[in-house]
Structure 1
Amino acid sequence: MPEITPLPLKQLTTLRTGAAPERMIDAHTSEELVDALREVWADGDEWLVLGGGSNLLVGDDPFPGTVVRVLTQGIERMPSPRDGFVRLKAQAGHSWDAAVAAAVADGLAGIEAMSGIPGTIGAAPVQNIGAYGQEIVQSLVEVELIDAATGEVSTVPAAELGLGFRTSVLKHHYGSVPERPAVILSVTLELADVGQGAFEVAGDQLRTALGLEPGATVTLQWIRDHVLATRARKGMVLDDADPDTYSAGSFFQNAIVSAQFARTLPDACPRWPLPAAPAPTLVIPLGSFDGYIPPRETSVPDVKVSAAWLIEHSGLRKGFRFPRSRAGLSTKHALALTNRGDATAEEIAELARFIQGRVQSEFGLILQPEPVLVGVEL
């Protein structure tokens, strides 16, 4: 098993924080990854699986356990049972954006709006990543994973992963543990084979982001190029020359609130109604049916509101930072907390706590962090 001299996690995470752990293992194949995890779990060590490091805030003290780096690579093209579709099976350590680029080059649609998102394929379902109206839940077929509780490898359909807004049963939410502790080994996507020609773009959110009128036709490559340019303007494409990209992307989730609470926010606050939950199936045993069918309960869908707007309108503008602090808001995007130059994890956490307090004071809600926090508290 390829155990290596531990590297500082600040070298391996996009927020650039974290000391070297006690132990580090590099897994280049699925077999090495499975063996490493089974050994670590059998020993009872603390453990952390590291992919692209783009959704982590790691504390300043050395991680007291084993870090397993997922470095598996490869994409396999497979037939789909649906006409006009193709399946891609990708290893967990493969770069997400490299997979998007490969799909676009092959004329496969369904993930092109998620161009430029950092990290690995294996992390994508955990977070149910998304951008501009596309989410991985829309194209995910299944994942191959290893369960931490049993060490068993199995193939799990997407429907069993509890995929929701930036969440799944696999995600380590701040202050809680995953419903199903497991590590993804591979991911299978199903994408539409649209070819290299122009086609009509579906989805108002993506058309708006790209400045397209309804009915406009463009190619997959055109969409990818313009999404990358849009993300770059916001500092959301990794660039060693740009400290605005030394971040975990959006540090806070857009808030999901009730429609009633949303009405207490200023009208100018951007908001997007979520789809209504399907009504539960009503079953009335024939033996007790008296001819009366009770009316269905109706509920008003929840609303997603813009965390970036809430931050800026709580008085914290882009580029905000404390005096002498090396952490600050991005100068391009109010949702990104950035490392402006060898900042500690505590400096970033201090800024995050201040932002939470300001938004709560002004608007009455607490923003929740999107990255996984390891050895650091808000």
Structure 2
Amino acid sequence: MGPHVRSVPRPSGECADRTLVPVQELHDAPLAPLTTFRLGGPASRLLTATTDAEVIEAVREADGSGTPLLVIGGGSNLVIGDKGFDGTALRIATKGFALNGTTLELAAGEIWTDAVARTVEAGLAGIECLAGIPGSAGATPIQNVGAYGQEVSSTVTEVVAYDRHTEETVTIPNADCAFSYRHSRFKAEPDRFVVLRVRFELEDAGGLSAPLRYAETARTMGVEQGERVPAAAARETVLALRAGKGMVLDPEDHDSWSAGSFFTNPILEDAEYEAFLARAKDRLGPGTTPPAFPADGGRVKTSAAWLIDKAGFTKGYGTGPARISTKHTLALTNRGEATTEDLLALAREVVAGVREAFGVTLVNEPVTVGVSL
């Protein structure tokens, strides 16, 4: 039986569409097509909001009736259980790209990789190395999205959000977003804020990129770390590097049927890192030097991909419908017929194997709905 469709009048107010085109409401609506994993069961009810006013109205309605609420953007960081979601799923499909000099404002529903392309076309620097990341703009501050030496926390100035506790729209400056590695205030309080808009301050460097911080990008481009290159060239290089790792969405490539990096890079205290280093040398030989990068608070960040590979989970690992990507060990993938439980079984196997080998517990990066590792 297919999803039931009915129309819901759009809310009144300044942001309302005066043509009163109805908001689509679906019941028993498949959610798998709204995620990059293409996994998960249906939602009891699915609303699609195309204005901030509709987003706020849907959230208020759910909160007022005590209905569980699942907010969906691009679905690129979401693992939904096979039983689906018993409540209201709200898909944010708002549009808005406003560039004023070097100041950028994006509606939460804007496709992130398209927005990056437009800033590069405008000759601005600051997010060019975040090209190709799937998902919507509203998710970027939640996860403090980062890749290839850039994080959005370095360019985000403000986040406009609906505060479900105070029932008000609030503007939160960067300093109050509590950004850290793949984390933020919004991620720490998942049931409080619904991001509506994100504001950025970019740089006019005459068409050049921000200084390249990532060794692989600089090496690929034949320059030293810290140098600037044409922003368009930096973007194209990052897209090529991501595509080579199955990290650019492609319906024909099952390596991209994933959430990108499934695990965050572990950040270890000094004692934890020394214990890990000793186990690595014991397992792999005294000459072993695991990847190590400085992290906040004097801690050390190491590579989840390295840990997974050295624990024996190589590219393409698995025999079932959920396997490690053939291009990158950090991506768990749906080969076409997987269920969420298949994916979680693989994730748990990897976590257990890495913990046994190196004493380090991996943490999943995607948000889980109705399931957990």
TM-score range (shorter-chain normalised) is 0.7 to 0.9
Q: 1:33 pairs with 31, 52, 55, which one?
A: 55
Counterpart in the other structure of 1:201: 211
Q: 2:38 pairs with 6, 12, 16, which one?
A: 16
Matched, 1:226 2:237: yes
Contact 2:125 2:210 in 1 (8 A): no
Contact 1:106 1:195 in 2 (8 A): no
Matched, 1:355 2:350: yes
Q: Secondary structure at the match of 2:43?
A: coil
C-alpha separation between the residues in 1 aligned to 2:48 and 2:179?
29
C-alpha separation between the residues in 2 aligned to 1:31 and 1:195?
38
Query: Which amino acid in 2 is paired with 1:74?
Result: G
Matched, 1:250 2:265: no
Matched, 1:365 2:346: no
Matched, 1:56 2:78: yes
Counterpart in the other structure of 1:106: 122
1:126-154 Cα offsets, whole Å, 9 max, x none, are 00000111100100100100012122101
Structure 1: runs of 5 or more not aligned = 80-85, 173-177, 278-300
Counterpart in the other structure of 2:166: 150
Distance 1:14 1:204, change over 3 A: closer
Counterpart in the other structure of 2:292: 271
Contact 1:201 1:207 in 2 (8 A): no
Does 1 or 2 have the higher relative contact order (CA < 8 Å, sep 6+)? Answer: 1
Q: 2:271 pairs with 238, 257, 260, which one?
A: 260
Contact 2:212 2:228 in 1 (8 A): no
C-alpha separation between the residues in 2 aligned to 1:305 and 1:68?
36
C-alpha separation between the residues in 1 aligned to 2:221 and 2:270?
28
TM-score, normalised relative to structure 1: 0.86
Distance 1:27 1:200, change over 3 A: closer
Contact 2:213 2:226 in 1 (8 A): no
Q: Secondary structure at the match of 2:167?
A: coil
Q: Give the structure with the larger helix fraction.
A: 2
Distance 1:211 1:148, change over 3 A: farther
C-alpha separation between the residues in 2 aligned to 1:204 and 1:179?
30
C-alpha separation between the residues in 2 aligned to 1:318 and 1:120?
28
Q: Secondary structure at the match of 1:21?
A: strand
Comparing 31-40 with 221-230, which one deviates more in the overlay? 31-40
Contact 2:107 2:198 in 1 (8 A): yes
C-alpha separation between the residues in 1 aligned to 2:191 and 2:270?
30
Contact 1:93 1:120 in 2 (8 A): yes
Q: Secondary structure at the match of 2:86?
A: coil
Distance 1:32 1:335, change over 3 A: same
Q: Secondary structure at the match of 1:183?
A: strand
Matched, 1:311 2:321: no
Contact 2:212 2:227 in 1 (8 A): no
Contact 2:69 2:88 in 1 (8 A): yes
Query: Which amino acid in 2 is paired with 1:33?
Result: V
Structure 2: runs of 5 or more not aligned = 1-9, 11-22, 281-287
C-alpha separation between the residues in 2 aligned to 1:333 and 1:375?
27
Q: Secondary structure at the match of 2:187?
A: coil
Q: 1:46 pairs with 62, 68, 71, which one?
A: 68
Q: 2:142 pairs with 116, 126, 130, which one?
A: 126
CA displacement at 1:158 relative to structure 2: 1.2
Q: Secondary structure at the match of 1:218?
A: coil
**Identical columns (%):** 43
Distance 1:200 1:125, change over 3 A: closer
1:11-62 Cα offsets, whole Å, 9 max, x none, are 1100111122000111001111111111111111001000000000100003
C-alpha separation between the residues in 2 aligned to 1:48 and 1:180?
9
Distance 1:169 1:5, change over 3 A: same
CA displacement at 1:214 relative to structure 2: 5.1
Aligned ranges 1:139-178 → 2 under 5 Å: 139-171=155-187, 178=189
C-alpha separation between the residues in 1 aligned to 2:225 and 2:82?
49
Matched, 1:190 2:212: no
Query: Which amino acid in 2 is paired with 1:268?
Result: T
1:246-297 Cα offsets, whole Å, 9 max, x none, are 000000110000123223323431110114x4xxxxxxxxxxxxxxxxxxxx
1:144-184 Cα offsets, whole Å, 9 max, x none, are 00012122101110111110000011116xxxxx2772100
CA displacement at 1:341 relative to structure 2: 1.2
Query: Which amino acid in 1 is paired with 2:201?
Result: E
Distance 1:190 1:144, change over 3 A: same
